[in-house]
């Protein structure tokens, strides 16, 4: 049996995957929370909350995030040549909630700056990555953006905001 036949057999045995149960299973993996940013054609800041962020490579320095194809911001990110990843710190839960909401100025009243890379960076983040878009590719119902890191900052004293099983969490030290 070749690999294609094996995959076909597994798919037949599994049947249809329940998307809601799959989402819950995915939630068993704790993730950090990020706000992904860019600017639109008019130079206005654009941002959204995402937990689909990961490092890809050190040489060259690459990271990725995934954006839902139904996102109202998809076209803005596709047209931009740069994006930023702001890893939220444990005291920035309100920002995470704000950048999920539609129809409001998400940047109003928060501290941020437009960096020389053209990327909005949010103050107080545990880490920031300023990237140029390296490539994008199909990820099913999402588009995967791979970025080459041009600049980064981090504060080792700040703990990240976490998301696990549908709730925000914070890091707690384990004592043996």
Instruction: Locate the domains of the chain by residue range.
Output: 37-164
The pLDDT, as a whole number, for residue 171 is 86
Band (156; pLDDT cuts 50, 70, 90): very high
pTM, entire model: 0.87
Fold of the domain spanning 37-164: Pnp Oxidase; Chain A (2.30.110)
**pLDDT for position 22:** 85
Segment 75-101 mean pLDDT: 96
The token pair that represents 85 in the structure block? 């990843």
Residue 12 scores a pLDDT above 90: no
Judge whether residue 11 has pLDDT over 80.
no
Pairing of strands 127-139, 142-154: antiparallel
**Contacts for 57 with CB less than 8 Å, ≥ 6 apart:** none
pLDDT band at 106 (very low <50, low <70, confident <90, very high): very high
> Residues 51, 38, 109, 114: what is their CA dihedral angle, to the nearest 10 degrees?
130
The SS3 assignment for 78 reads: helix
User: Does residue 136 register a pLDDT over 90?
Assistant: yes
């Amino acid at each position: 049996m070749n690999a294609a036949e094996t995959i076909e057999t597994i798919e037949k045995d599994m049947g249809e995957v329940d998307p809601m149960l799959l989402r819950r299973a995915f939630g068993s993996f704790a993730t950090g929370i990020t706000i992904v940013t860019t600017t639109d054609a008019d130079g206005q800041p654009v941002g959204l909350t995402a937990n689909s962020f990961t490092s890809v490579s050190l040489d060259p320095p690459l990271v990725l995030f995934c954006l839902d194809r139904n996102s109202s911001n998809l076209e803005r990110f596709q047209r931009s040549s740069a994006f930023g990843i702001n890893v939220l710190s444990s005291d920035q839960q309100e920002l995470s909630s704000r950048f999920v909401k539609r129809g409001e100025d998400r940047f109003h009243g928060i501290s941020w700056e437009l960096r020389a890379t053209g990327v909005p960076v949010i103050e107080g983040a545990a880490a920031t990555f300023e990237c140029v878009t390296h490539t994008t590719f199909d990820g099913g119902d999402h588009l995967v953006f791979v970025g080459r890191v041009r600049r980064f900052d981090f504060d080792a004293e700040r703990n990240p905001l976490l998301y696990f099983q549908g709730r925000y969490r914070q890091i707690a030290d384990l004592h043996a």
